[in-house]
Structure 1
Amino acid sequence: MSRMLLHFHSEDISALARSLKGQLTNCEPKPSHLELLNMLVRANGYRNFQHYRAQITAQNQLEKLPITPEPDSFDRIKRLLRFFDSGGRLMRWPSKRSQQEICLWVIWSRLPARQVLTEKEVDQLLKDNHLFGDHTLLRRWLCDYGMMNRTADCREYRRVEKRPPTEALELIRRIESARF
């Protein structure tokens, strides 16, 4: 069986070290290779090494899929671009529900992945990415469309990791390439 190379990245090396230190103090005998792998990926927010490997494999497969939208959707993407300013901020809330969802994917793409955020942090991110003054509307719709989860007491928010529709990917790509 060939060995699959998996790249490992941690956003916060200090938090990784603290987590590893805490997990290693609970180990009486010397931990095995698999136990060390599990400790590393748990420190990065995964359940275990199998969960991490499955996520990386799925992400690699998604990246190989073509992103080109259908030819008739280019006109729709052109119309959706009008909702954003040159800085990539949403200028006004679209009236059509189908347009709202595609525009929300752009906002979703700017939320940090695999990170728990407070309501205040989410609000600040949303305020920074729109111009029409209603961040609560955006927060509510992100949750309603299943792009973000929140706890019952609304204290913790987390971006839901899933692949945006092809049109949304193309819109995100065009907006991010035009941002300055």
Structure 2
Amino acid sequence: MSKSPMPLYVGDLSALACNLRSQLQESESVPGHVEMLNLLVKAGGFRNYQHFKAQYDARRGLDLPEQEYAEINYKLVKRIVRLFNDEGYLTHWPKKYSERVICLWVMWSRISAKKTYTECEISELLEQQHLFEDHALLRRLLVDHQLMTRTADGREYRRVEVRPPAEAVEAFKHIRG
């Protein structure tokens, strides 16, 4: 058996559970490793493990982008979305660190990539994104969290191109900006 990860995505978890449960009830003993793999992929809609692996290999052979369904903390996303008003302004600075980080990602998403900003320009841009009037805090935290770089003298700022966490990407979809 291959040790390389082959993710199994299921559209309906309830149907998977029902199907898997009925297959387990029909078996006479506790299934072994290979039998369990077959039960799982059958419950997920494939004929057997070989069919699943062939589909997986074919998808990789076509160089299609990997399906990435990172677990998203939707409760956190909901709390983040509530921090922004209907116009997309951050109404107040959150107390929880996890919420602060995602708010910084939202600010990061509104900064143009590959553009160099002066301190005045980045301050003005950040001032237009929130209602609590502390653009210096946001500017400093964006640098501290390595979402932006600045020169030693603080004259030039640039956005750092990194992949945002799944919660931030989900928040981007719900916050006007």
Q: TM-score normalized by structure 1? A: 0.60
Measure, in 2, the Cα distance between the counterparts of 1:162 and 1:93.
23
Q: In the alignment, what sits opposite 1:50? A: none
Give aligned pairs, total: 115
Alignment-mate amino acid for residue 135 of structure 1: H
2 CA distance for matches of 1:142 and 1:67? 26
Q: Deviations over 1:114-160 (max 9, x none)?
A: 01100000001000000001000000000000000000000000000
Supply the distance in 1 between the matched residues of 2:94 and 2:66 (Cα, whole angstroms): 29
1:174 maps onto 2:174 in alignment? yes
Q: Do 1:67 and 1:166's aligned partners in 2 also have CA atoms closer than 8 Å?
A: no
Unaligned residue ranges in structure 1 (runs of 5+) = 1-60
Give me the whole-angstrom Cα distance separating, in 1, the residues matched to 2:93 and 2:152: 26
Structure 2 CA distance for aligned equivalents of residues 126 and 66 of structure 1: 34
Give 1:106 deviation, angstroms. Answer: 0.5
Task: Specify the alignment match of 1:28 in structure 2.
Answer: none
- State the partner residue of 1:97: 97
Give the CA deviation at 1:74. 1.2
Cα deviation for residue 70 of structure 1 reads 2.4
Go from structure 1 to structure 2 and tell me whether the alpha carbon gap of 1:175 and 1:68 turns closer, same or farther (over 3 Å shift). farther
State the AA in 2 paired with 1:101. Answer: V
Give the SS at the match of 1:107: helix
Per-residue deviation, residues 48-73 of structure 1 (Å, max 9, x unmatched): xxxxxxxxxxxxx9xx45565526x1
Instruction: Decide which structure has the larger Cα Rg and report it.
Output: 2
Q: Secondary structure at the match of 1:90?
A: coil
The aligned residue for residue 136 of structure 1 is: 136
- Aligned amino acid, residue 146 of structure 2: G
One-letter identity of the residue aligned with 2:75? D
**Corresponding position of 2:106:** 106
Percent identity over paired residues: 48
Separation in 2, partners of 1:129, 1:65: 33
Contact 1:149 1:160 in 2 (8 A): yes
